[in-house]
Amino acid sequence: MKKARVNKDQCIGCGLCTSISDLFQIGDDGLAEFTAPEVPADAEGSVEEAKDSCPVQAIEVED
């Protein structure tokens, strides 16, 4: 399965990814985090969409 992470050095906390996939949430620090250990197969589309939609390219998805 793929893994996803948010690079907090780049995230600006806009919340867009959380509106696209509920596997992202805004943490206590006001920045996004990916909440699952891996990307479930049925969530790959929305996670990729969140990655592509992030205005500062803070989301990384890797195989």
Query: Is 6 near ligand SF4 (CB under 6 A)?
Result: yes
E strand residue ranges, 1-48: 3-6, 24-26, 32-34
From CA 44, how far away is CA 28, in angstroms rounded? 25
Query: Is 12 near ligand SF4 (CB under 6 A)?
Result: yes
Query: Is 15 near ligand SF4 (CB under 6 A)?
Result: yes
**H helix or E strand, kind and range, residue 62:** strand 59-62
State the minimum distance, in angstroms, from the CB of residue 29 to ligand SF4. 11
- Which residues in this chain contact ligand SF4 in the complex, by CB under 6 A? 6, 11-17, 24, 32, 54-56, 58-59
